[in-house]
Amino acid sequence: MKTNHSRSPNSQNRGESVSVTQVNVVKLGLDVHADSIRVVRQLDHATPQPAQKFSPAQFLEWAQKQVRLAPKVYSCYEAGPFGYGLHRQLADLGIENLVVRPQNWDELGKQVKTDKTDALALCQRLDRYVQGNRKALAVMRVPTPAEEAARWPSRQREQLLRERKRLEAQGRSLLLTQGLRVKGRWWQQKNWQMLAARLPVALAATLAITREIVQLVHEKVEMLTTELEAAAASGRAKGVGALTTEVIGREVGNWQRLTNRRQVASYTGLCPSVYASGHRLVNGSITKHGNPRLRAALIELAWRLVNWQPHYPPVAKWRVLLLDKKTPTGRKKRAIVAIGRHLAIDLWRLATGRCRAEQLQLVIAG
């Protein structure tokens, strides 16, 4: 009796290689951590293999072998704190990698969430995506290295601002424990001189250390602010500051990549959520999907335009309601979100040359 020694690709041991003629496509679902990567591999249309665990260095070495195993290798992992470094390393190896939006992969509600189940879910979704179902994964756009580097100064400034506020609050808290309540920037020279004269020597010495750190952080914030403002283009609309212009531009990266106003609004996360079933349709709070820093900058800018651009159509529509002290806070928030969403679309139109500021009834600063 003749024994059949042929084996399916998925029956191979992990250490074995498979003939190139046997495998056309390799798909890898990756669950990435700082010190390890869980991988589920699928060869062609076979059943996904059990999850494997690698260190980052071991994984790259193993991934290189997959490129020799099949003419086409796909992989995907969730966007997160690891950025796009792994994506670029995989691209250099010749692997077509996708960075996808994070989500809860426990779709059946089994209350089981592990690295293995996440990697398996990613691999299964990737299989559907490769076969043509482009809605199987929400693929993130990977910025170019230059676009990513351009974001660092503005984001660092934001982080330092938060740190300064934390240290200011730390100083106020210490003073409050001694029955002294202060407001504002207690660490500035004039305020500090008056405050230090009232403090016990030990307390003043302790607070002086916090003050020194606050001053250093403040200097770096001012330095980054100056650099960002100097890089902003001229010819801005009245009320649209240099810093805000530069932050919005760097967060978007490339306005040309957005092809229609729906994409622009979606990227801001300022679109209302929707619940529709049968004859019932309810619009809820904003989705908050997209770029949170861009969303914050647009809301801040929208409030500013209420004072500086009263004839700008979205502002003119809601200005009376916003300036009325009797208007409930909830209605004001909805109105300012509507202005911010419309403003993002108009900024896209300006940046892509679809129209001029005068056509949008925006007054250019003199």
54-108 per-position pLDDT tens digit: 999 999 999 999 999 999 999 999 998 888 999 999 999 999 999 999 998 888 8
Please give the tally of structural domains in the chain.
3
Asked which of 231, 254, 282 is the last residue of a domain, the reply is: 231
- Looking up tokens 């305020």, which residue turns up? 191
pTM (two decimals): 0.84
Q: Mean pLDDT throughout 123-145?
A: 95
Q: What is the tens place of the pLDDT at every residue in 179-217?
A: 899 998 999 999 999 999 999 999 999 999 999 999 999
Phi, psi dihedrals of residue 155, rounded to the nearest 5°:
-75, -35
Same domain, 111 and 60: yes
Query: For residues 153, 158, 164 and 166, what is the CA-based torsion angle, rounded to 10 degrees?
Result: -140
Residue 208 in domain? yes
Domain final residue, candidates 174, 199, 231: 231
pLDDT at 307 over 60: yes
- Do the Cβ atoms of 66 and 28 come closer than 8 Å? yes
Quick: pLDDT tens for 104-120: 888 888 888 899 999 99
In a domain, 165, yes or no: yes
Domain CATH number, residue 24: 3.30.420.40
Cβ atoms 349, 355 nearer than 8 A: yes
Left if phi > 0, otherwise alpha if psi is -120 to 50, otherwise beta: which for 269?
left
Q: Which domain holds residue 297?
A: 242-360
Q: 353 and 257, same structural domain?
A: yes
pLDDT of amino acid 106: 85
Of 83, 64, 57, 79, nearest in space to 26 by CA: 64
Q: Are residues 116 and 172 in the same domain?
A: no
Q: Does residue 68 lie in a domain region?
A: yes
Whether residue 119 is contained in a domain is answered as: yes
99 in a structural domain? yes
Last residue of a domain, one of 200, 231, 262: 231
For residue 138, being part of any structural domain is answered with no
**One domain, residues 307 and 247:** yes
Work out the burial of residue 194: count CB atoms within 10 Å of its CB; fewer than 13 is exposed, 13-18 middle, 19 or more buried.
exposed
Tens of pLDDT, residues 217-253: 999 999 999 999 999 988 888 999 999 999 999 999 9
Per-residue model confidence (pLDDT) at position 1: 43
Residue 107 sits in the same domain as residue 183: no
Q: Which burial class, exposed, middle or buried, applies to 107 when counting CB atoms under 10 A from its CB (0-12, 13-18, 19+)? A: exposed
CA distance 352 to 187: 45
* 136 falls within a domain: no
Residue pointed to by tokens 């260095």: 57
Q: Are residues 215 and 259 in the same domain?
A: no
Q: Say if 288 falls within a structural domain.
A: yes
What is residue 366's predicted lDDT score, i.e. its pLDDT?
67
pLDDT reported for residue 283: 86
pLDDT of residue 19: 45
